[in-house]
Amino acid sequence: MNLSGWGRFPQVDSRVLRPRTPEAVADALAGGRAIPRGNGRAYGDAAVSHGVTLDLRGLDRMLAFDPATGQLVAEAGVLLSDIIDAFLPRGWFPLVTPGTRFVTLGGMIAADVHGKNHHRAGSMAESVDWVEVMVAPGQVRRAARDENPELFEMTCGGMGLTGPILRAAIRLQRVDSGWIRQDSIAAPDLDAALAAFEARMAATYSVAWIDCLASGRSLGRSIVMTGEHARLAELDNRRRLRPFAIPAKRRLSVPFDLPGLALNRWTVGAFNAAYWRQGRRGAGPRLVDWQSYFYPLDAIDGWNRIYGRRGFAQWQVALPLDRAAVGLRALLAEIAAAGQGSFLAVLKRFGPGRGGLSFPVEGYTLALDFPATPAALALMDRLDALALAQGGRFYLAKDARMTAATFARAEPRLPGFQRFRSAAGLDLRFASAQSERLNL
Amino acid sequence: MTQDLAKSPVLILGGRSDIGLACARAFAAAGHPLQLAARNAATLEPAAQDLRLRGGGAVSLHEFDVLDIAGHAAFLDALPEPPGIVLCAVGAMGDQEASERDPQAAALVMRANFEGPALILGEIANRMEAAGRGVIVGISSVAGDRGRATNYVYGAGKAGFTAFLSGLRNRLARTGVQVVTVKPGFVATRMTEGMDTPAPLTAQPEEVARAILRAIRTGGTVVYVRPVWRLVMTAIRAIPEPLFKRMKL
Ligand SMILES: Cc1cc2nc3c(=O)[nH]c(=O)nc-3n(C[C@H](O)[C@H](O)[C@H](O)COP(=O)(O)OP(=O)(O)OC[C@H]3O[C@@H](n4cnc5c(N)ncnc54)[C@H](O)[C@@H]3O)c2cc1C
Ligand SMILES: NC(=O)c1ccc[n+]([C@@H]2O[C@H](COP(=O)([O-])OP(=O)(O)OC[C@H]3O[C@@H](n4cnc5c(N)ncnc54)[C@H](OP(=O)(O)O)[C@@H]3O)[C@@H](O)[C@H]2O)c1
């Protein structure tokens, strides 16, 4: 069947198997080169294969929870949304979460996802105690910092290319409530935005929406938002009584593909200008529920259809700290000049990175999405070159179109990853459309 | 919930079924203790543990074969508590061609979809009637709305089950016992694995679960999970027989 990632681009003809047990996973692996798939929220072709795609959502049982340590053991297909539904009412929240909760545990580990707290908490791997990986049909290895450490390192951020993760143990954090104390400031240009991040390194969460169509003196203008889990004492009486209850959300949905015209430089430009004005006016502290704070897009089912039939592509780079300002300025100038902005442009300060192919590096990350049009694809090629010139690194979970040469230049760590795969024979067993394109 | 069954135990007959387990998760999340009944119940322990973690409540496992009719009463007597809500997800699609050739195979399909589920729910209905409260949810099928060449043995079983539930609902209307008939349409489960069902007509088990909990909350009677199915089946039922008999459906 035709399969794609969240961006619906590219589409790949794949044989999809849905094993529900480790034995069935082993059987499926015996049928040729395969790639695991979680909930398909990676944008590009990381979780689709020209051979077999292993849909692991059927492995979705929670196995154990230790309230003394906050450790949850679960099968890899469990959704983050289910973890939150089960444990937030008992005062636990994931240590690391991406911007959607409709991801699986396995997908979060394989992409080594980062959240708004990366500058303090690090990436997903920091909250993983161990994983169990099926490295060959029927052969399951446990990997942790002190057990098969190299497999652990390569699996976290390894995009499924070390084999399907069957189960994992992760740690949750204690929270007092389902509310976040958010503070926001309007930064009129890039320097102000970066200064705001640097001044807020102590904040638990920080992230900025950046207006990627603003140019000239306004280049890089941003709304920088920080957040803290609200303590009981910080809630009013009504909320303190039921600290985990939040107002029910209306779920909206995009039931069909919007025509490609719906998003163009004028609609996006108007949206961005309005968002900026509203952000500036609404700056200051307020209390926000966890869903609106962490997962605003989850309220709209199928929002990936707003880009129309041909789908869209994300582009996300991480620039090392000392080159971030120069690099971001060059990227933003190019985007603004091309008039190909997106409204989901995000800027974020990263803390120190990890090994393997894990994406984050200490510095800044910029993420944008574009319709998969020829003009936008050409722009992304130019952005690749600008980012490479500043030591940029690219996020595989977002990529759908990079060239192998670009990735190899960005990743001095790639040969180590390839050696690990071939030494263990993993390259013969696991491949995605992305790994073939990028020679991972 | 129309009755005060907010934290009352829920019995799921056919506890291994994908739809049954999705419902179990939804009931667990809503804080209900659960009783899962199935053949080889002990093998459901990992599912039970999962439900305990999700809901934090009690989950018990019970050996149950819907075809063991003589054992129904004893099975119910042995439950830790009489359930306030009972969901029957037992069913078997069988193989239509086998059912045409082999009367034993056909009988099994009829019994697993009609006789067994109807009789256990009938016994439960009597107990709930005596208690003056309770909810019975039977998962039947649109396949019972009109017999078609490709699955009429299964469909006939479901038609019988649908009629039984309808009668039960009618009989108990004034007793405080609610009876819900669910006709899910296509659902992506083990039963339909490998079948190429049209996406807009195919629900996920979680959707079925949401529809069932909503029906219980609002006093619903006959539930088509995706509303489009009500239209589809109205259209299919309206086709005149002389025409219908020549169609390939
Ligand atoms: C709206 C939105 C916001 C996002 N925000 C962020 C963000 O803030 N930060 C961030 O880091 N990411 C973000 N992402 C990306 C997303 O978190 C990752 O792509 C994540 O990997 C998706 O998980 P999934 O379960 O859908 O996996 P899939 O997309 O199905 O797979 C992703 C990768 O994981 C591998 N994989 C999946 N399951 C397993 C398994 N069991 N064993 C081994 N490998 C496996 C696949 O092979 C593939 O390489 C966002 C995505 C969306 C759609
Ligand atoms: N999937 C669909 O498209 C669809 C559509 C309409 C209606 N339905 C109905 O929905 C219900 C649930 O089905 P499902 O889709 O979840 O498929 P399923 O996973 O195959 O569930 C059917 C269940 O019935 C149980 N069962 C069969 N014979 C039994 C017996 N003699 N005693 C006890 N249990 C028995 C099976 O138990 P074992 O595990 O022990 O075999 C199985 O768990 C069924 O009634 C089905 O007819 C399904």
Please report the ipTM that was assigned to this predicted complex: 0.86
Average of per-residue pLDDT across A296-302: 82
Query: pLDDT averaged over chain A?
Result: 93
Distance CA B36, CA A386 (A): 59
Average of per-residue pLDDT across A41-66: 96
C-alpha distance from A90 to closest chain B C-alpha (Å):
9
Helix ranges (H only) for A75-128 are 80-87, 105-110, 118-121
Mutate to test the pocket of ligand 1, among A104, A314, A437 (most ligand atoms within 8 A of CB): A104
Flag if A18 and B193 touch (Cβ within 8 Å). yes
Chain B residues within an 8 Å CB radius of A85: 29, 54
Average of per-residue pLDDT across A258-264: 55
pLDDT, tens only, A356-396: 999 999 999 999 988 888 999 999 999 999 999 999 999 99
pLDDT, tens only, B125-176: 999 999 999 999 999 999 999 999 999 999 999 999 999 999 999 999 999 9
Mark whether B154 is an active-site residue. yes
The residues lining ligand 1, judged by C-beta closer than 6 Å to any ligand atom, are A 5-6, 35-42, 46-47, 56, 76, 98-100, 103-104, 106-108, 110-111, 113-115, 159-160, 164-165, 297, 397, 432
Report the residue from B29, B47, B56 with minimal CB separation from A90: B56
The active-site residue out of B27, B75, B114, B154 is B154
Long-range pairs, B221-227, Cβ under 8 A, ≥24: B221/B169, B221/B179, B221/B180, B221/B181, B222/B180, B222/B181, B222/B183, B223/B180, B223/B181, B223/B182, B223/B183, B224/B142, B224/B183, B224/B184, B224/B185, B225/B182, B225/B183, B225/B184, B225/B185, B225/B187, B226/B185, B226/B200, B226/B201
Q: Is there a contact between A276 and A326 (Cβ–Cβ < 8 Å)?
A: no
Q: CB-based burial of residue A333 (10 Å sphere; 0-12 exposed, 13-18 middle, 19+ buried)?
A: middle
Query: Which tops the pLDDT comparison, A375 or A160?
Result: A160
C-alpha distance from B85 to closest chain A C-alpha (Å):
22
Q: Which two tokens stand for residue B216?
A: 């219980």
Chain A residues within an 8 Å CB radius of B49: 61-64
Ligand with smallest separation from the Cα of A22: 1
Q: Is there a contact between A46 and A111 (Cβ–Cβ < 8 Å)?
A: yes
Domains of chain B: 3-244 (3.40.50.720)
Flag if B29 and A85 touch (Cβ within 8 Å). yes
C-alpha distance from B88 to closest chain A C-alpha (Å):
22
Mutate to test the pocket of ligand 1, among A37, A151, A394 (most ligand atoms within 8 A of CB): A37
**What is the number of the ligand 2 atom nearest to the C-alpha of B154?**
47
